[in-house]
Structure 1
Amino acid sequence: MKLKRIVLSIVAGTALFVPAALAGQNQLTPVVRASTLKNKITTVKSYTNPTLYNKNGKELVSQDRINFKKPINFYGQPIVIQGPRVSAFINLNGMPQAIVNGETYADLGDGGYVNMKSVGSYNWNNNEIGIIKNTYIYNSKGNRLSTYRGGNAYLTKGSKIKYAGKSWTTYPDSYFNLGDGTYLKSNNVNTMNGKGVLKLNANTAIYNKNGKRISFNGQQVFPKYSIINYAGKRRTKTQTDDYYYTNLSGSKSYAIKNYKIKGQDYYYIGRGAYIKAMNVGRINGNPVFRDGGATTIVPQTDLYIYNSKLKKTKQSVKKGQKIRALDPVVLGSGDIAQLFYRIKGTSNYVSWGDYSEYGFEDDEHVGYFNFRVRLNPVKTIENTATRAAEESD
């Protein structure tokens, strides 16, 4: 498995460490001001210990080689690892699907579609779709095809057909080298070199206090996944803090100071340099939330639209379509709670999925859509259906 070649940044106090390039496992060792926590990280509090990986992003068999109760040495710069291949549909209904004229179809990957009422199974190992009912094959508009893959556009009960599209994906991320072939995903890092950290969710430009782009130690953009020390300390969230995170139990909220520059929120990283708060996905290893405002979401599969009462309609949005959304709401509670975002300018919603996964480890990979900024739900809704489901548990 190859490592993605990318320059990652570590900003520690006034020192910026950027290797010229990362090729394979080549790394440079940073030099920082003297400190008992030099080249050490601590991990964020969790109910379980962080997962350890090898250089290819695969989980190690032995997970007890690191003592997470004390600062941990790291070596060189964080590197971006593509990670192992996983099913592209593991979190998306379990198989390739599309919505055609208000109905769900199995996507065959090359322009053909089969109504899901005729589908019985999908095999992740060989990408075969099992047919349980005689069916025609249709195009993306729901029109019956005359031929398909050089033959009849018709499938019989008990037959199988292979999905022809890309069936796998990877989840690249930055990792710290802990030595002896052991790597830790940067999501777990609470402090680095004795200071709190920001993790970037996008390539991020650097600005001065007037909102003008500047260079910081010769670098004008920090790459996505970079780990950056911020200036100052965390504090209990105030009314002026738009972006924040919570403790493990959710009982307390914390923030680092937001600076307003031309109406937008920025974080100060020292030496007159600022970065946009919306480009920070984690603070001290904790997922960042924002109260209010809108964000851009991108569906990872076709999604049904729900009306103002959160009832599913026959309308839909397409995979990859950029949508402005706001005002998340939670339907139900406990194990059945589902999260919805409202489509801006409408009273309609789309479903993100299982609310219990929201704001936890790697939640950017488990929902039905990706979000630019993680918004805090504005309310929880209970109705007859959710109450009945809760009572039956």
Structure 2
Amino acid sequence: MKLNKKIIIGATALALGSLSVVAINTNNSNYVSASAASTKETTVKLRLNHNSYVYDKNGKRLKKYKGKKALIKKSQKLTIKGKIEPIQKAKRYYFYGKLENGNRPAYWLTYKKINNDYYYSIGNKGYIKCVNVKTIDGYSLMSTEATVTIKPRIEKVAHTWNKLGEQTTKTYKSGQKLIIDDTNILPNQNTYSYRVKGTDYWVSAQDLKSYPRPSHMVTSRILRYN
């Protein structure tokens, strides 16, 4: 992945836009395209960001799915049946619908938590991990937290900053895995930084092996872009 180029482009877009925390207007049912927000099952189109194994309802990897190897390639597009519902508080995996009147309502495609992982049902008793899904009906899937791997770009360790953009003494070694739970562009910086869960330590996206999945934006805050 050409991470540095994407960091600069993404950071510039975020810096130029207005970002604010808002409540979701649940009366706005203008969620678009192939699916309408509903408590009933509807047709949903998924696009993957990674090859995905197929699992059963207990989280056990299947050997066969529909008579073939239980592996769905990244290039494949899936059409499934699922429930899409509006949310007022971010779910572990969620997405934003169509922009209407300055508001982009948030939704979630219902998933199942098995042990410590989250799965979407794809029918025929098969499940795939939510983290392997890139888009739902063309809308980018987001998460409230994600796991990343440290890979310092310049030095042997990755330095950290606090929310004020001040460098701290905390560092992380190459290969360390961290759970992150927020995304921001800190003061006096022009690239994304991610907050290490449970701390005020922020690591630069440039010191990560790759962007978090399913999306480079990780946050539990409900956002609106004007």
| Same fold per superposition (TM over 0.5) | yes
After TM superposition, list the pairs within 5 Å mapping 1:1-393 onto structure 2: 90-91=5-6, 195-214=43-62, 215-217=64-66, 218-237=68-87, 241-249=91-99, 251-291=104-144, 293-297=145-149, 299=151, 301-302=153-154, 305-308=159-162, 309-312=164-167, 321=175, 323-331=177-185, 339-344=192-197, 347-352=200-205, 369-374=210-215, 376-377=218-219
Structure with bigger gyration radius? 1
Q: Which runs of 5+ in 1 are unaligned?
A: 1-85, 94-189, 354-366, 380-393
Q: Which runs of 5+ in 2 are unaligned?
A: 9-32, 36-41, 222-226
Residues 88 and 350 (structure 1), Cα distance of their counterparts in 2 relative to 1, 3 Å cut: closer
Q: 1: CA distance between counterparts of 2:2 and 2:148?
A: 25
Q: 2: CA distance between counterparts of 1:211 and 1:327?
A: 24
Q: CA RMSD in A?
A: 4.0
Report which structure shows greater RCO (CA 8 Å, sep ≥6): 2
| Deviation of the 1:91 alpha carbon | 5.0
Q: 2: CA distance between counterparts of 1:226 and 1:322?
A: 31
| Deviation of the 1:321 alpha carbon | 3.8
Q: Which amino acid aligns with 2:93?
A: Y
Question: Structure 2 length normalisation: TM-score?
Answer: 0.61
Residues 328 and 239 (structure 1), Cα distance of their counterparts in 2 relative to 1, 3 Å cut: closer
Identity of aligned residues (%): 23
Secondary structure of 2:218's counterpart equals coil
Number of aligned positions between the proteins: 181
Question: Structure 1 length normalisation: TM-score?
Answer: 0.38
Residues 213 and 195 (structure 1), Cα distance of their counterparts in 2 relative to 1, 3 Å cut: same
